[in-house]
Amino acid sequence: MLVSPSTLKIYNASAGSGKTTLLVINYLYVLLKSPYPDEFKRVLVLTFTKKASEEMKNRIIQCIKEFSIQKIKKEYRFLFDYITKNFNLTKHQLYQRSEKILFSILHDFYFFSRNVSTIDKFTYNIIRSFFSEREIHLEMDIDRFLLKIVENILYRLKNSEKWSKVLIQSSLEKLKKGKNWDLKKELLKIAHIMVKENNFFPVKKMKNYSLEDFIQLKNILIKRTKIFEKECKKKGEKFFNLLEKTLIKKHSFIHLDLPRFFQKFKNENIFLNPFHERIEKYMKRKIFYSKYFSDKNQKILIEKNKKRILSLYEETKFLYKKNISNYLLDKLFLKNISILSIIHEVEKEFRYIINEKKIILNTELNKILYEKIGQETFPKMYEKIGLQYHHYFIDEFQDISFLQWKNIQILVENALSENGSAMIVGDPKQSIYRWRGGDSSQFIKLINSKSNYNKKIRSIEKNFRSYEEIVKFNNSLYQSISKIFNSTIYQNIYKNYKQKIDKKSGGYVEINFIKNSNQNYKEYIYLKIKNKIEKLLKQKYALSDIAILVRNNKEGHFLSEKLVEDGIVVNTSVSLLIKNHFEIQIIINFLYIIAYPYNYRKRVVLIFLLSKKGFFHIKMNHHDFIMKIIFLPLNLFLKKIFFKNSLTLNKLYNKSIYSISEDIIEAFGLLNKKNYAYIYSFLDFVHRTTKIAENSIIHFLDYWELKKEKESIVISNNINAIRIMTIHQSKGLQFPVVLIPFTDWNVDSSKEEIWIDVNPHLYNGFNPIYLEIEKNFKHIKHDNNIRNFYEYYQSNIKFDNINLLYVATTRSIEQLILFSKLGNDTSISFYIKKFLCEKKMWNEKKSQYIFGIEKKNY
C-alpha cells in the first residue's frame, strides 16, 4: 500500500516487520513519481531517535545512489525490482530519475538532512526561527539546570522570614513521618515535576496559586480531616464504652473482628479499608459469636445488646462511606502541599535563569511550541511552515507525546486538505516510553476513531527478522498473556497478535527457571550466563553476535563488571560506572573531606579505602587508630594519612578542582595500567563539569551525586565484544542471539506522582490536585473514585511492562535465552509459567523449557 494524495496511511507494524524498508519505499515513491527532482524539499520525515533518522538518511541515499549507477548490488535488487514493477517505471526511467534526484539532494544536502529529522530537532528548529533577534542555546543537561535553580532558591528563601517558616514546617512534617527531610532533594523533586511534559497542564494551573492560597487550602484540609478522625474516634470509644457498661468481653466476639474493627476507629487508623469481607458477612447474618462459643452468660449479654451493636456498626459504616473519599484525597494531598506551595518560587527562578542565560530546555520544546500555536498571531506563521511540506512520514508513532502530536497534527491535516499525503507507522506493543511522555493511546485512537480525511489502515504481519521457532514462541506467549488485561483494548492488541514467518526455518528458545538456589540470585544468574556464553562460542558465534538485555542500569553494571573480571570483552551501552571503581571512591571521599572538614564519617571511609589500597598498614587496632586521628583538625588529619606530607591544605588552596584531582591521584599513586580508563573518564567528567559550572568543590560534589549513576567508560563499537544494554536502548535493534538474564520484574507500579480531578469547591478552587501513587492503594476498595483511577493507572503500567517484555523477546534472529526466578502473580515470570501451563509443558521439578532444536557445538 503506497502513499496516495489526501490520504492518511496508518501502518500497525509489529517487531521485525521491516518498517524502515516500508518507509524508504514510500519515501522513494513520492520522489520518483514527482516531475521535480527537488521534491525531497517538500517531504518531512520525523523519527523518534537520532539513530533512526540517520539510518533513514543513509538508506535513502544508498538506494538512490544504487539506482542511478545501473549496477544494482544484491541487497538492493529486491527494492529495485519492486519499484520498477509497482511504480510503472522502466529501468531506464528509474536510472534517469534517480540520477537527477541524487544530484539535487547532494547539491542541497542541508534541506534533505533537515527534512529527515527527529521530532525534537524539528520542533527546536521551528522555535529557533522565532528567536532570530537573539542567540538561543538548547540546554540538554536538565539535572545541572535544576540543581542551579534549587541552590538559588535555597539561598533566597532561607533569608526570607515568610518562606523560612514554610520550609522548616515542610521539613518537620517529613521528619515526623520518618521520611526524607532534605530540602534540596524535595525542591529538586518539585523542579523535576515542573519540567516533566506529562505534568504540563496541571502544573500550568498550579502556578496560578499563591502561597496564601496553599496555606488557606492546607488549613481547610487539616480541619476537615481532624473533624472526620474525631467522629471516627467517637464511634470506636462508644463501642468500648458499651462493652464496659454491659460487661461484654472482647474475646466473646467471633475472631475478635468487631473489637479490632472499632479499635481502628478509636486509634484513627482508618486510611485502609477496615470493612473486610469476613466482618461484613457476619454483620449481614447478624452473627456475633461462634457456634462453638461456650460462655452462656456472654451469649445472653450479646443477644441482649445485639441491636445496639449492630446499629453502631451501621452508623459507623454510613459515616465512613459518606466521608472517606474526600478524607483519603485530603490526606494524600496534605503529604506534599507544603513543598508544592513553593512551586511559584521555582517558576520565577526558572524563568529568570532561562532569560539570563538565553537558553531553552530540551524538555520544554514541545510545551513552548504548543503554547505558541495557541497564540493569535502564531498560527499564520506556523501555516507558512506547513506550506513547505506536502508529504509527512512519522515513525514510531506510539512513542510520541500528546503535545508532540498536537503540534504536528495541524501540519498533517493541512497537507491532507491540500492534496498532500501522510504516512504514520507505529506499534502499540512497543510503547515503552510513557514515563517520558510517550502515549500509545493516541495511536490506538487514531486507528479506531473517525476522521475528516481519507484514512487507510494496514497491519504488517510478516516477520522478516526472526527464525520460525522464535516467531511461533512469541505468537503463542503473547496470545496467552493477553488474558491478563482487564482493558479490552489492551487485551485485543495482544490477542490479535500473530505474525507470519518469512521462510526462515529453525530458531531456538530456552527458558530457565532458577529454583531454590542457596547462592545469591544475581551471582547464580551470572554463572548461568557465563556458561551459556561459553556454549555459544563453541557453536561458532562471535562475541559481537550476543546481546544481553537488562531491565535497568544496575543489572547491566553488575553483569558488565563480572564479565570483565572473567576476561570476557564487553561493549555496553549500559557501560561500566566509574563511581564503582576503587580509586574514584578515594578521590571523591577526599574531595568531600576538603569540602566538609567536619564530616567525620567520610574520614573513616577514606581511612578504610586507603588501608585496602595498601597505602598504609594499620599496626594497632583499627578502632583505636581511627579514634586517635579522626577528630584532629583537617591539616593534622592529612599529615597522619600521608607518609611524606606530600599533600597539605596549603598546596590545595586556590587550585581548580581538576588540579586538585590530579594532585590526589599523584599523592596516592592511583594511576596504573588497569585503571587508566576509569581515571581519565573521571578527569574528563571534572573537566566538563568545571567548564559549565563555577569552580566550587561543594557544587561539583552536588553535581557528581546527580550524575554518578550515568558517568561511565565506553568501549569502542569496532571490537568483537558482547553487547549489554537496557531493553529501552535495544529498541529497533536486532542480534543473532539475545540473553535476558532477569526476566522477573514486577508488572505493578512503583511510587509515582499523579494528578487527579477533584471538585474545586471542596479544594479552595484547586483542580486537579497532586498525589503520589503507593502500593497500599490496592487495598482502598471502599472509594470508587480512587479505586477506578488506581485500576486505570495500574492497567497502563501493566501494559507498559508487558510491552517491555515484548520488545526484549523480539530482538533475536536465531536464539532467545531467558533466565528467571518464580515470582508472585505480579511478576513477569508468573505469566511465563502460566503460558507454559497452558501449553501443558509445566513441571514443578523441571527448570528448563525448550522450543526448537539447539545448534550443535563445533
Banded model confidence at residue 12, pLDDT cuts 50, 70, 90: very high
What's the CATH class of domain 7-134+376-460? alpha beta
Q: Do domains 7-134+376-460 and 461-575+717-745+813-858 have the same CATH topology?
A: yes
Please confirm whether the linkage preceding 760 is cis (ω < 30° from 0). Answer: no
Average pLDDT on 106-130 reads 89
Q: What's residue 343's pLDDT?
A: 86
Percent of the chain at pLDDT > 70 equals: 89
pLDDT 10s digits, 831-847:
999 999 999 999 988 99
Residue 138 has pLDDT above 70, yes or no: yes
In angstroms, the CA 679 to CA 583 distance is 8
Distance of CA 715 to the CA centre of its chain: 25
Banded model confidence at residue 664, pLDDT cuts 50, 70, 90: confident
CATH architecture of the domain 461-575+717-745+813-858 equals 3-Layer(aba) Sandwich (3.40)
Q: Which three cell numbers stand for residue 115?
A: 527534512
Banded model confidence at residue 679, pLDDT cuts 50, 70, 90: confident
pLDDT 10s digits, 263-296:
999 998 888 778 888 998 999 999 998 888 889 9
What residues contact 139, with CB distance under 8 A and at least 6 apart? 145, 357, 359, 360, 361, 362
Q: What's residue 438's pLDDT?
A: 81
Q: What's residue 401's pLDDT?
A: 92
Banded model confidence at residue 620, pLDDT cuts 50, 70, 90: very low
**Alpha-helix runs per DSSP H in 116-210:** 119-128, 142-157, 161-176, 183-195, 200-206
Q: What is the DSSP string of 212-242?
A: HHHHHHHHHHHHHHHHHHHHHHHHHHHHHHH
pLDDT 10s digits, 720-759:
889 999 999 999 899 999 999 999 998 876 667 788 888 8
Banded model confidence at residue 179, pLDDT cuts 50, 70, 90: low
Model confidence, pTM: 0.84
Average of per-residue pLDDT values in the chain: 86
Residue 516 has pLDDT above 80, yes or no: no
Which of 488-497, 532-541, 601-610, 639-648 is predicted with the least confidence, judged by mean pLDDT? 639-648
Average pLDDT on 553-557 reads 88
In angstroms, the CA 592 to CA 590 distance is 5
User: For the chain, what's the residue count?
Assistant: 858
pLDDT 10s digits, 574-608:
667 888 888 899 999 989 988 888 888 888 888 88
- Asked if 572 and 562 count as a contact pair (C-beta separation under 8 A), the reply is no
pLDDT 10s digits, 447-494:
888 777 788 999 888 999 999 999 999 999 999 999 999 888 899 999
Residue 366 has pLDDT above 70, yes or no: yes
649 vs 116: which has the higher pLDDT: 116
**Residue extents of the structural domains in the chain:** 7-134+376-460, 139-211+341-359, 218-334, 461-575+717-745+813-858, 578-713, 752-803
Q: What's residue 645's pLDDT?
A: 52
